[in-house]
Amino acid sequence: MAIIIRLDRVMADRKMSLTELSQQVGITLANLSNLKTGKVSAVRLGTMEAICKALDCQPGDLFEYQEEESSHD
């Protein structure tokens, strides 16, 4: 996918574990792990708000757009 999720990087910067974050955000560890590994197709604004509040960051810090290389080359 062209959208890269940088949740692990922000978490490492804040020295916060996945369990700790899941407790603060209020979503399950499994869902948070799926988000971290990019296995989700959408993120609710409510979840984004809670993550940004817990990690003291902006939504833009969590996502990055990288153009995918064409496979036709």
Partner 1 sequence: MLQLSDKGLRQLVIVFTISLLLGGLAILGLGIHLIVMGVQGTYSLPLVLFEGLQLAISVQASSLGSYVLYCLLLIACLTLGLLMLFLVRSMLISLEREKAFTQSLPLSIKRIAYLMLVLAYARQLLFLLAFQQELGKLTEFVSFRFQLLPTLAVYALVVLVFSQLFSYGLILQREYEQTV
Residues that bind partner 1 (CB under 8 A): 27, 31-32, 34-35, 39-44, 47
Listed residue (42, 37, 32) closest to 5, CA to CA: 37
To the nearest whole angstrom, how small is the minimum distance from the Cβ of residue 32 to partner 1? 7
What is the Cα–Cα distance from 57 to 62, expressed in whole angstroms?
8
Which CB sits closer to partner 1, 38 or 56? Answer: 38
Q: How far is the CB of 39 from partner 1 (least distance, A)?
A: 8
Question: In this complex, which beta carbon is closest to partner 1, that of residue 41 or of residue 71?
Answer: 41
Query: Can you tell me the distance from the alpha carbon of 24 to that of 50, in angstroms, rounded to the nearest whole number?
Result: 8
Both tokens of 63, joined, read 């996502």
Give 3's strand partners: 65
CB 70, min distance to partner 1, A: 26
Q: Nearer Cβ to partner 1, position 16 or 48?
A: 48
Tokens 């609710």 sit on residue: 44
